[in-house]
Amino acid sequence: MRILIIGQGGREHALAWVLARSPQAPDLFIAPGNPGTAEVGTNVPIAATDVPALLHWAQEHAIDFTVVGPEQPLVAGLVDTFEAAGQRVVGPTAAAARLEGSKAFAKQFMAAHGIPTANHRTFQADEYDAAVAYVRQEGAPIVIKASGLAGGKGAVVCHTLDEALEAVTDMMQEGTFGDAGAEVVVESFMEGEEVSVFVLTDGAHYLLLAPAQDHKRAYDGDEGPNTGGMGAYAPAPLATGRLLTQVCRDVIEPTLGGMVAAGHPYRGILYVGLMVTETGPRVVEYNCRLGDPEAQVVLPLVQSDLVEVFDALSRHRLREVSLIVDPGAAACVVLASGGYPGAYEKGHPIEGLEAAAAVPGATVFQAGTGHDDTGRLCTAGGRVLGVSAQGADLAEALSRAYEAADRITFNGKHARRDIGRRGLERLSATP
Ligand code: GLY
C-alpha cells in the first residue's frame, strides 16, 4: 500500500506516525513533510497547495490513496482534481469543504437543517454600514467572523462594543484577512465550554474519534492572543456518552444528511467545534480536516488499523470497517517559539528529543522544525513540537506529556502549564 499525506505540521506527523504503525506496513510519502515525517516515511518536496504537481506525482508513483491534512488544498478543490483523474482521497470536495471555507455558507446550511448554532447575520463586502449598525444594536459580548479561511484567526470574540466595531472595521475596511474578511458573519456570543468532535465519514456512514479539547490562547488561564492551539487532550470528560448521543442526533446526522440532500455528500474528516451550553450543544464551527494539535491526541488513541479505515473511506465503503478507540487518555503539550503567535526567532538548536521519547507512552510530533547548515535539528516555526503522551487516564497522560516536554530544550521555548486542567477538574468533581 502506497499512501501520500499532504501537509507539513504536527497533524501530518501524527497521521504519518499512526499509519506507519499499521500491520500493512505501508509506504508513506509526505508532501512536503517536515524532519519528523522523514523518520516514518519519505518527504516529497511539493507544496501542499500545488495541486497539479501533487496529482502528477501521485500518478507517477502509483499512490493507492491520498490523505489531506490542511484545509487550503481541500477548499481549493484538490479532491475534485484527484478524483476526476481516478485517484482516491480521504477528504471532502471543494463544494463540501465550504462548511469550513465559507462561514456564511455554514451558517445558512445550519439554519436550513435545524442544526443548533448561535444566531447570526451575514454582511457582504458592500454592507459595512449595515454591519456596524447591527453590531451597535446587538451590543457586546458578540463574535465577529471573517467568512473565508483565515488560518484559525478569523473569529474574534469581542467583550466590548469598541472591540466589536474595531473587528468589523479591520475585516471589512482594512482587509486584515484579505478576501477572507470581505464578507463577515456576526454571531451571538455563546456561554459554555468548547469541545471538538471528529468524524470519519464516507457521506453515508460515520465513525467517531475521541472527543478532544484544544487550548487556543497563548498563555495559562486562557489569557493572551489566539494561536493555532497550544495543547489538547482526549477524551474530554465534558463529552459524556449522553452528550455525544445528542451531538450525533442533532448535529452530525443532520449535517451529513443535509450535505447529501444538497448534492455534495461530505466525505473525509469532519471536525465539529461545539459549545456545550445550558440548552445543549451548539455548533461554533465546522472544519473540513483534523485539528492541530487535536490530531496529536485523537490519532494515537486509535487502536484499529487506520490504513484499513482510510482505505475503506476512500472507496466509500466505511460500513465495512469499525473503529476501536483506546479506553485510556492522551495529552499534547505544544512547545512554541518565544513570541508566538507574534514575531519569533528561528534557527535555535533543539535538544532532548530522545530523552523525551523515552518517557513511557510519549511521542514527540514535529511541526515547525528544520535543519541548520550542520544538519542539526532547529526551530523553524511558531509551534515547534507537539509533545504527546498516552496514559491509563488523563492525569497519567498529562504527567507523562509534561515530563517529556520538560526534557526538551531550545532557546525561547514556551509552553502552557495548564493543559488539561479543566478536564482534571471535571473528573475530580464527578462522583
Ligand atoms: N486547533 C484548532 C484547529 O486546528 O483549527
* Burial letters 91-125, b for 16+ CB under 10 A, else e: bbbbbbbbbbbbbbbbbebbeebebbbbebbbbee
Going by pLDDT thresholds of 50, 70 and 90, the confidence category of residue 101 is very high
Could you read off the pLDDT of 376-414 as tens digits, one per residue?
999 999 999 999 999 999 999 999 999 999 999 999 999
Mean pLDDT of 191-218: 97
User: Tell me, what's the pLDDT at 278?
Assistant: 95
* Cα-Cα end-to-end distance for the chain: 47
CA-closest candidate to residue 272, choices 249, 289, 258, 260: 289
- CA 50, distance to chain mean position in Å, is 21
The residue whose CA is least distant from atom 5 of ligand 1 is 291
Give residue 189's pLDDT. Answer: 96
pLDDT per residue as tens digits for the range 265-295? 999 999 999 999 999 999 999 999 999 999 9
Q: Compute the distance from residue 62 Cα to the ligand 1 centre, in Å.
A: 31
Interval between CA 375 and ligand 1 midpoint (Å): 31
Question: How many angstroms from the chain centroid is the CA of residue 424?
Answer: 22
| Mean pLDDT across 115-137 | 96
Cell numbers found for residue 210: 475521541
* pLDDT over 80 at 347, yes or no: yes
- Position 331 scores a pLDDT of 98
Name the pairing type of β-strands 2-7 and 27-32: parallel
The per-residue DSSP string of 327-371 comes to SSEEEEEEEE-TTTTS------B-B-HHHHHTSTTEEEEESSEEE
Verify whether ligand 1 is closer than 6 Å to residue 305 (CB atom).
no
Q: Whose CA is nearest to atom 2 of ligand 1?
A: 291
Residue 327 alpha carbon to ligand 1 centre in Å: 24
R_g of the chain, CA atoms, integer Å: 21
In this structure, what are the phi and psi dihedrals at residue 387, rounded to the nearest 5 degrees?
-95, 110
Tell me which of 214, 296, 388 to substitute to probe ligand 1's pocket, judged by most ligand atoms within 8 Å of the beta carbon.
214
pLDDT confidence band for 430 (50 / 70 / 90): confident
Residue nearest to atom 4 of ligand 1 (CA): 291
From the CA of 353, how far away is ligand 1's center (Å)?
24
Among 149, 197, 292, name the best residue to mutate to test ligand 1's pocket (greatest count of ligand atoms within 8 A of Cβ).
292
Between the CA of 216 and the centroid of ligand 1 the distance, in Å, is 8
Q: Which atom of ligand 1 is nearest to the CA of 287?
A: 5
Whether residue 431 is predicted with pLDDT greater than 80 in this model: the reply is: no
Ligand 1 center to residue 293 CA distance, Å? 7
Give the model confidence (pLDDT) of 314-333 as tens digits: 999 999 999 999 999 999 99
Atom of ligand 1 nearest to the CA of 229: 1
pLDDT of residue 359: 98
What is the rounded CA–CA span in Å between residue 359 and residue 364? 10
Report d(CA 39, CA 271) in Å as an integer: 27
Q: How far apart are CA 109 and CA 55, in angstroms?
A: 31
Please report the DSSP string for 82-122 in residue order.
Answer: HHHTT-EEES--HHHHHHHH-HHHHHHHHHHTT--B--EEE
d(CA 32, CA 353): 22
Measure 53 CA to ligand 1 centroid, in angstroms: 27
Residue pair 194/213 in contact (Cβ under 8 Å)? The answer is yes
pLDDT at 181 (0 to 100): 87
User: Tell me: the pLDDT tens digits for 46-84?
Assistant: 999 999 999 999 999 999 999 999 999 999 999 999 999
Measured from the Cα of 291, ligand 1's closest atom is: 4
User: What are the backbone dihedrals phi and psi of residue 98, each rounded to the nearest 5 degrees, phi first?
Assistant: -60, -20
Q: Is 183 in the pocket of ligand 1 (CB under 6 A)?
A: no
Our CA dihedral for 170, 171, 176, 180, rounded to 10 degrees, sits at 180
11, 216, 294: residue to mutate for ligand 1 pocket, most atoms within 8 A of CB: 294
CA of 230 to the centre of ligand 1 (A): 10
Residue 44 DSSP label = -
Query: CB of 152 closer than 6 A to ligand 1?
Result: yes
273 CA → ligand 1 middle, Å: 9
CB of 292 closer than 6 A to ligand 1? Answer: yes
Chain mean pLDDT for the chain: 97
161/157 Cα distance (integer angstroms): 11
Overall average pLDDT of the 165-175 stretch:
95
Instruction: Report whether pLDDT(364) > 80.
Output: yes
Residue 250 has phi, psi (to 5 degrees) of -95, -20
Average pLDDT for 252-271:
98
Scored b (16 or more CB within 10 A) or e, 303-328 reads eebbbbbbbbbbeeebeebebebeeb
Q: Which of 331, 334, 297 is nearest to 218 (CA)?
A: 334
All 3 cell numbers of residue 57? 506525482
